[in-house]
Structure 1
Amino acid sequence: MVYPVQSSAKAYAELLGFESKACYHIELLLEEVLTNIIKYDFMPGQKENIDITFDKTVLGLSITIHSNSIPLDIDKIKSFSSIDKENILKYNASGLGSLLINKLADNVIYMNKGKEGQFIHIEKNITAKAVSENKLMEDTQTLRTPKTDFDFYVRPLKPEEALFVSQLAYYAYRVSYIYDKIYYPEMVKKLNEEGEMLSIVAVNSENEEIIGHVAAIKHEVSRLPEMAVAFVNPAYRGGGCLHKTSEYLIDLLKTKNSIGVIVHAVTTHPYSQKAAYKLNLRETALYISRSTPLLMNEIKEDNQARESLLLMFLPLHPEDTKQIYVPAHHVDMITAIYKNSGQSVEIIATENKRTSYNEEAEIEVTSDTYKCGFILVKQYGSNITPLILKTLKSLCVNRIESIYVYLPLEKPEIGDCCQALEKAGFFFGGIMQTAEGQDYLMLQYLNNQMYNYDTLEVFSDFAKELVTYIRHHDPSQE
């Protein structure tokens, strides 16, 4: 029963360019997840269809499995995630279910959609070749010589220039940059071709050399364009390359009808915050303990504090005043966030009271390589709080360091849900907006962490107010 599906997946993966080892991994993934669904996720005698969809993605292949089965047990699915990837194939493949899914897939999303059934979405990327130091630009000595008088112009990246961008990223940051896809020329080219990345380059007018780069990347959760992977040939720093490429990018995004653009600015120093502020982006949220330390070039220290990121937002096409519901005790801060970012909203304060629900709750759960988990509430329901807390427990057991939950602001049910989650240890983080124009309250949870807020360096007065407010609500600071 499973074999024909495996064969189809293998054939499709080969067609897309996957190597034989990766095709074998895809077969194992399908064997385990389908076997587990068939054996354990249906009632005795139940007959249902299992719909399996293969799709080409920007970076490879996605597999979506839909069944009207018993709701997914995420605790069970993630139960083997502590075994390292190098030892996976030492085990009997038939018993590796959740281990294989979590370790051999590049991204996994579990969705319980109530009456619509259960969904497992798996993504597998084609292995690409990274730029190495041996392929660095030949005359690196000239790159180290500071340039004081030069002219440059700005334009979109050409497909054949992807290699030069990856090389420049390597030269500027070695392999420390947080968005590691930039080191793979094939990925840079493909992401730009598919519209997942929009790269803008600064070009030396004298010799047509690429001397700077910035890109808009679709954020995984909000789908808003995120300005990132910004770097300049060190010899040309201070010449205004980054600012002009960023301005060009913002103007281009306006023509593409993007509702806004975001930046995640580090808080170990204020420089990226200042650059974003100069472009009129403003702070809307602070993600405490968002990523592992950024090790610049070859500087490595043990026990470094995890990096916190400021989410900054610029509306590109101001909307008419929209109505949102806000927990009463956060009204003042949320009002200040919208005012600071130049957005018009009508805020309705919600009191904590029991709400009657007509539908089941629906959430989407993801995690990343920085030991962070994300819970996006798609729909409130009577079981929303138990569902989130069960997911939280699973993430914590699997040593996820920081968990972020997004609560929709367009419905009054947010009041009850926010209060219940804050009693369980979640605390205020800020506002996240999406490409579809939806607004979310972000709450965060630190798994056995006592974060040192004194290490945060923020630039603007409002950012300082936001840090103070979040610190006050963090239960570990009491």
Structure 2
Amino acid sequence: KEVELKYRLMTAADAVSMARCMYRSYGYSYGNDFVYYPEKVKELIKSRLLHSCVVFNPEGELVGHLAMMLDSPDAKVGETGMAVVDPRYRGHGIFKKTKLFLVDYAKKNNMAGIYSEAVAVHPYTQKGNISLGAHETGFLIGFTPSTMFFKKIEKQQRTKRQTTVLFYLKLADDEKKVCPPFHHKAMIKKIYEMSELNRKIEKAEHNVLKDIDEKSQVDVKVQTEPGRAFMRVSQFGKDVVELIGFRLRELCLQKIDCIYIDLPLSHPMTQQICAPLEMMGFFFAGIIPEMFDGDVLRLQYLNNVDIDFEKVTVVSDFGKELFDYVVKAHERELSV
């Protein structure tokens, strides 16, 4: 039967109740383990990097949660995640309502959009995103560790890492110039068209190297528990490919399973270094609009990870086309 539920913005006082709700749904299997530590959650809320919608039943018990994470307090896009619904309250449309709550909140704060990673072990989260107007922009192969388990959705524990689908929901848009690698241009253009993003695709000049510094800057963020690492080129230099290769070797020696690198599509160097990075073993993942003051091209690297592509669930026709593109890019990487 229909239950009257209350939706509101999360406060630091809700951190313990949220951790309990996460445990009821996932046990201790959730990839980002900070969700089980209320003090860490409180700190993120106070620093304005975590904005969540929480759901309460008539008894005042927290039974649902969806977070929007920001890279900085003034970021133009947020990442929604940490979606949880108490198993007793599934089937009440809670995910969609929490997402709508955060969409409205993001609009009021003049944000450009919201992106998220939807699991591909079941269709429900993907369907929820699509019903809100979000579109697929990529696939992160092996993003979710095998230890993550959905109570009352999955019948048995998985043995291999699982894939997630990148979704982007546009809230506002301005025309931007982008320089995608030539061999990925057609697919990137199609992703922009599907998401109704106004982008002008340009070709990089051949002498782009003469206008950049000697030294590059590559930022690295490691998530040890789920076995993931994220690299970001924040400054291009003439040594960028060499530096990325060095960082990649370090992460592989740390036995990080999945390694991602974000390249700014506004910079012409991205067009030129994509192929050398693919020779290292990186392959196409997708794009994330407005990620760091502009769109990024995300490449991915699997560190001896075995993936069962037959168990990936993809809902939409375009999603299936994009997934096939990513799988073929992975196959090309294996043949190098």
TM bucket by the smaller chain? 0.7 to 0.9
- In the other structure, the counterpart of 1:124 is none
Tell me the SS of whatever aligns to 2:179. Answer: strand
* Structure 1, unpaired ranges of 5+: 1-147
Trace 1:11-160 onto structure 2 (pairs within 5 A).
148-160=1-13
Following superposition, the deviation at residue 285 of structure 1 comes to 1.7
Change beyond 3 A, Cα 1:173–1:452: closer
- Matches of 1:281 and 1:239, distance apart in 2: 21
Structure 2 unaligned blocks of 5 or more: none
Q: Secondary structure at the match of 1:470?
A: helix
1:419 aligned residue: 275
SS in 2 for 1:462: helix
1:260·1:435 contact (CA, 8 Å) conserved in 2?
no
After superposition, the C-alpha distances for 1:230-253 in whole angstroms (9 at most, x for unaligned) are 222332221222222221111011
Counterpart of 2:89 in structure 1 is 236
* 267-276 or 449-458: bigger deviation: 449-458
Q: Which has the larger radius of gyration?
A: 1
1:393-415 CA distances to partner (integer Å, 9 max, x unpaired)? 22223322222122211122222
**Counterpart of 1:458?**
314
- In 1, the alpha carbon distance for the partners of 2:53 and 2:191 equals 30
Q: Provide the rounded CA distance (Å) in 2 between the counterparts of 1:208 and 1:367.
A: 36
Q: What is the TM-score with the length of structure 2 in the denominator?
A: 0.87
- Secondary structure in 1 matching 2:114: strand
Cα 1:450–1:215 change in 2 (3 A) is: closer
Q: Distance in 2 between matches of 1:277 and 1:268?
A: 16
* Residue 167 (structure 1) shift: 1.9
1:217 is matched with which residue?
69
Match of 2:229 in 1: 373
Structure 1 residue 301 displacement after superposition: 4.7
Could you say what secondary structure the match of 1:326 adopts? Answer: coil
**SS state at 2:248 partner:** helix
The counterpart of 2:264, out of the listed 394, 403, 408, is 408
Equivalent pairs counted in the alignment come to: 327
- C-alpha RMSD over aligned residues: 2.6
Instruction: Name which structure has the greater RCO, CA cutoff 8 Å, separation 6+.
Output: 2
The offset of 1:353, in angstroms, is 7.5
TM-score by length of 1: 0.63
| Distance in 1 of aligned mates of 2:323 and 2:264 | 23
1:464 Cα offset (Å)? 0.7
Work out whether residues 197 and 215 of structure 1, in 8 Å CA contact, stay in contact via their aligned partners in 2.
yes
The secondary structure found in structure 2 opposite 1:413 is helix
Q: 2:166 aligns with which of 297, 311, 314?
A: 311
Alpha-carbon offset, residue 154 of structure 1 = 1.9
Q: Distance in 1 between matches of 2:221 and 2:65?
A: 29
Partner of 2:191: 337
Given candidates 274, 284, 288, the residue that maps to 1:428 is 284
Cα distance between partner residues in 2 of 1:444 and 1:436: 18
* Cα distance, 1:352–1:182 mapped onto 2, change above 3 Å: same
1:286 matched to which residue of 2?
Answer: 139
Question: CA separation of 1:336/1:150 partners in 2, compared to 1, >3 Å: closer, same or farther?
Answer: same
Amino acid at match of 2:176: K
Counterpart in 2 of 1:110? none
Give the one of 292, 295, 299 matched to 1:443. 299
SS at match of 2:200: strand
Contact in 2 for aligned 1:202/1:210 (Cα 8 Å)? yes
Q: 1:443 deviation in Å?
A: 1.5
Say if 1:317 and 1:325 are closer, same or farther in 2 by CA, change over 3 A. same
> Which residue does the alignment assign to 1:265?
118
